[in-house]
Amino acid sequence: MSDVAVVLEGITKSFGDVEALRGVDLTVPRGSVLGVLGPNGAGKTTAVRILATLLRPTSGTAYVEGHDVVRDAAAVRRLIGLTGQATALVDELTGRENLVMVGRLHHLPKTEAESRAAALLEQFDLVDAADRTAKTYSGGMRRRLDLAASLVGQPKVLFLDEPTTGLDPRSRIAMWDVIRDLVREGTTLLLTTQYLDEADELADNIVVFDRGKVIAEGTSDALKDRVGGDVVAFSVASAAAATQAVDAVANVGDGAPVVSGLDVSVAVGSRGSEALLDVVRRLDAAKVTVTGLGIRRPSLDDVFLALTGHVAEEESA
């Protein structure tokens, strides 16, 4: 199992009557990114807290780099970095002071803690704000500083709990770039998110949590295939053109094309581009003019809906 960085086996966790996790199994191969996707209350944070040695599971075992998170918690803490759902900064300290302090608590010598802090401030584009108190930082800067703090100890395995919640779209994309760089350096990453596009962007593998259980797992593409794959869609100008178009592309998709008003869609499984070309050729041959022609990939929202019967944003409790 030397290529596996994180393992959860039959993990359950109850808080009184609340069963936050109800038997979770998952593995994260070393150097890969696992996206844990789920609505509010699905148990994502609970799973992360168990892996970060902050909570004991009610039953089951969990390992980080081969170390049991309960029996060998001290060894686990030396290998991990954690960025919680809330930023864990000391507001009255400057960005630099926050990082140096964390370095000292990782038992780096003073000069090393300082140079590590300087390097991280550089990497996270915080040099200009380095000597201002964290209180004065914007939401995006706080998130970056918080992430930087979890990297001071050069963790082998990094846990990020909803790293972009509350950020504006630009800051989110900047955060994604930062995370991608980390992954390129070989860090194993477990990332929780409620944003379906985020898991899609960053994760090699995705597990979907719902009410304390893993209800689906696989690559983003594999999950999308479970909902029925790609759709080629276009619009036409009149009902007559619609009929013509349906006749032209009748044999391209899986089953008959679907017409809804002036919109036509053809389910094409995983043969997206190839099917698109085919549709274009046939429409051209039949001299049908169309607009808005393209492939629509099912979003993870579609996946979530198909898997759980409710939409992701809904409170599941």
Partner 1 sequence: MSELTWAVADTWVMAKRNLTVWLRVPAYLVFTVVQPTIFTLLFRYVFGGAIHADVPGGYVNYLLPGIIGQTAAFASFATAISLAVEVQKGVIDRMRAMPMARSAFLGGRLLADVVRMTITILVIVGVGYAVGFRFHGGFGRAVAMVALAIVLGAAVCCISATIGLWLKDEESTQAFGMIWMFPLTFVSSAFVPVSSMPGWLQAFAVNQPITHVVNAMRALALGLPLHDDLWLSAVWLTGIFVVFAPLAVRVYKRVS
Ligand X SMILES: Nc1ncnc2c1ncn2[C@@H]1O[C@H](COP(=O)(O)OP(=O)(O)OP(=O)(O)O)[C@@H](O)[C@H]1O
Q: Does 193 bind Mg ion (CB under 5 A)?
A: no
Contact residues toward ligand X (CB under 6 A) are 15, 18, 20, 38, 40-46, 85, 194, 317
Q: Cβ 181 to partner 1, closest distance in Å?
A: 22
Q: Cβ 86 to partner 1, closest distance in Å?
A: 4
Least Cα distance to 26 among 287, 207, 273, 289 occurs for 207
Q: Does 190 bind partner 1 (CB under 8 A)?
A: no
Q: Cβ 144 to partner 1, closest distance in Å?
A: 15
- The Cβ of residue 141 has, within 10 Å, a number of other Cβ atoms equal to 20
Q: Which of 10, 40, 59, 78 binds partner 1 (CB under 8 A)?
A: 78
Least Cα distance to 88 among 147, 166, 175, 172 occurs for 147
CB nearer Mg ion, residue 13 or residue 67? 13
38 binds, among ligand X, Mg ion, partner 1, none (CB under 5 to 8 A by kind): ligand X
CB nearer Mg ion, residue 44 or residue 144? 44
Whole-angstrom distance, CA of residue 11 vs CA of residue 75: 20
Whole-angstrom distance, CA of residue 108 vs CA of residue 48: 26
Site string for Mg ion, 34-53 (x = CB under 5 A): ----------xx--------
Q: Does 90 bind partner 1 (CB under 8 A)?
A: yes
Q: Cβ 251 to partner 1, closest distance in Å?
A: 57
CB nearer ligand X, residue 181 or residue 313? 313
Least Cα distance to 44 among 184, 161, 177 occurs for 161
Residue range at the interface with partner 1 (CB under 8 A); choices 45-53, 214-222, 280-288, 305-313: 45-53
CB nearer partner 1, residue 149 or residue 279? 149
Give the torsion through C-alpha atoms of 72, 30, 55, 22, to 10 deg.
Answer: -120
Residue range at the interface with partner 1 (CB under 8 A); choices 147-155, 239-247, 257-265, 296-304: 147-155
Q: Cβ 272 to partner 1, closest distance in Å?
A: 42
240 binds, among Mg ion, partner 1, ligand X, none (CB under 5 to 8 A by kind): none
CB nearer partner 1, residue 13 or residue 224? 13
CB nearer Mg ion, residue 65 or residue 162? 162
Q: Does 156 bind partner 1 (CB under 8 A)?
A: no
Distance separating the N- and C-terminal Cα atoms of the chain: 36
User: Interface residues with Mg ion (CB under 5 A)?
Assistant: 44-45, 85
User: Interface residues with partner 1 (CB under 8 A)?
Assistant: 49, 52-55, 74, 77-78, 80, 82, 84-90, 92-93, 97, 101-102, 104-107, 133, 149-150, 153
